[in-house]
Amino acid sequence: MRIERDIISFFRQWKDNPDRKPLLLKGARQIGKTWAMQAFGQESFDYCVKFDFDRQPELKSVFQITKSPDRLVKELTLYCDQPIVPGKTLMIFDEIQECEEALNSLKYFCEDAPQYHIIAAGSLLGVAVKKRALAVPVGKVQVVRMSPVTFKEFLRVSDPKTFEYIDALHEIRHLPEIILNKLATEYRRYQVSGGMPEPIVALLEDKGVGVVESKLQDILDLYELDFAKYAEALEIPRIHAIWHSLPAQLSKENRKFIYRVIKSGARSKDYEDALMWLEEAGMIYRVYDISKPGMPLSAYRETNAFKVYACDCGLLRRLAHLPATVVTDPIANYTEFKGALAENAVLQSVIPLMDGQVPSYWTSDAKAEVEFVIQWGTQIIPIEVKAEGNISGNSLSVYSKKYNPQCRIRFSMLNLQYNGGLISSPSPLAGWLDKLLMMLPEGEATVS
């Protein structure tokens, strides 16, 4: 089963850009980076060659001999069955973190041989770069962050007709009840599998919940092994403790990250490196509180106050040992964690639309909290997230009275509508946020 990834559209634009640089693809483990590179190469080029520096350690010697792209290409042709022809061949450097010289070679391909198309990727690339002090050729590569499969990508496979209906929307108006119901059903299934390709395929091919759970657990187990392989010995237990504390952190009514939830007496200075490791690995998103919604948002971050979400709602659900049957039941009552799972899924959909930027959140004297605040063009937009159809609470109203935003958004499981600057949208449409903002009446919001 093929899951069409939106990043392939980005790859196509990059291919035709005369000013392109080699791509350096980052992202969490098991999200489909290698698959996406190969699928793009096979569909858009005459030839596609992959060099895996983990499985082919002998490749390292090629890059240790020379820095000349022409000579490198001649040597690399000995390790592949297809020709390397400028403009006709995609070269994939996989697990590039295993060869610093190959990473450095991207600089010389950019400067001396831009006619070649190269995409490089690696497992835990950010972690490896930091741990081994690898020199990334800044300015000579284009760094691209890939995310897990979004609900938008999931729906395109699971229910093509519903996807086409939503994708063709041109105004904010009530959706037909049948469309709303189908969205809700598929969204709950997505929250079960999450955005990792293997569990998604198991779910969509009706292999049973047991197989889905097994695939998710395999990924969690792999992540645990990565702690031991890539982290410093001192940090391993701290990384493990933070990762396993996520369900408890997010089950609190106030989801602010609290160190004592990890361990009694835990201090921020002891766990900061472990948090950064998980961020570099792409396994968590750290969402910071802001003192006020000013421009730019990054200038108003409260660095000692933040929430931590998992990179994927399916992994978070499995990490919490929450049964799939509870998630697929619309009337199941699992209180705060239901809200956390809803927030995590919305966050996953919004981040790919923001060039990798992570939203912030806003609080007011511990009496009001808006789940996410984003900078969109010249606008600062608050986003409220509700798990189902209960939209009680005054946090968004408190924010609006204080800052009078031109546009605000509420995601829930209620129908789509627009009223006086408020977009009320079903949570499954979070992946179409850019499109919803473009549908606003002229003058309501500035869209980049």
The CATH number covering residue 133 comes to: 3.40.50.300
Q: Are 245 and 261 in contact (CB under 8 A)?
A: yes
Residue with token string 């995609």: 90
Shared domain check, 155 and 139? no
Q: Which helix (H) or strand (E) holds 398?
A: helix 395-403
Q: Which helix (H) or strand (E) holds 120?
A: strand 117-121
Shared domain check, 365 and 418? yes
Does some domain include residue 445? no
CA angle, residues 234, 358, 6, in degrees to nearest 5: 110
Domain extent at residue 40: 7-145
Shared domain check, 416 and 374? yes
pLDDT of residue 156: 97
Cα–Cα distance, 39 to 2 (Å, whole number): 10
Shared domain check, 209 and 140? no
CB burial of residue 325 (10 Å; 0-12, 13-18, 19+): exposed
Residue with token string 């369900």: 247
Shared domain check, 43 and 157? no
Does some domain include residue 67? yes
Taking only the tens of pLDDT, the chain with its 448 residues reads: 899 999 999 999 999 999 999 999 999 999 999 999 999 999 999 999 999 999 999 999 999 999 999 999 999 999 999 999 999 999 999 999 999 999 999 999 999 999 999 999 987 887 876 666 566 788 999 999 999 999 999 999 999 999 999 999 999 999 999 999 999 999 999 999 999 999 999 999 999 999 999 999 999 999 999 998 888 999 999 999 999 999 999 998 889 999 999 998 889 999 999 999 999 999 999 999 999 999 999 999 999 999 999 999 999 999 999 999 999 988 877 777 999 999 999 999 999 999 878 999 999 977 899 999 999 989 999 999 999 888 888 899 999 999 999 999 999 999 999 998 999 999 999 999 999 999 988 656 544 4
Does some domain include residue 448? no
Shared domain check, 169 and 112? no
Cβ atoms within 10 Å of 435's Cβ, excluding its own: 16
Q: How many residues does the chain have?
A: 448
Does some domain include residue 117? yes
Sheet strands side by side (includes 47-52) = 47-52, 89-94, 117-121, 23-26, 142-145
Tokens of 394: 């005054």
Give the chain's domain count: 2
Shared domain check, 220 and 138? no
Does some domain include residue 430? yes
pLDDT of residue 133: 59
Per residue in 177-210, pLDDT (tens digit) is 999 999 999 999 999 999 999 999 999 999 999 9
Shared domain check, 232 and 133? no
Considering only CA atoms, which of 104, 98, 126 is closest in space to residue 231? 126
pLDDT of residue 130: 66
Does some domain include residue 444? no
Per residue in 329-358, pLDDT (tens digit) is 888 777 779 999 999 999 999 999 998 789
Q: Which helix (H) or strand (E) holds 381?
A: strand 379-385
- Which of 114, 145, 176 represents a domain boundary (last residue)? 145
Residue 47: partners with Cβ closer than 8 Å, 6 or more residues away:
82, 83, 84, 85, 88, 89, 90
Residue 354: partners with Cβ closer than 8 Å, 6 or more residues away:
374, 376
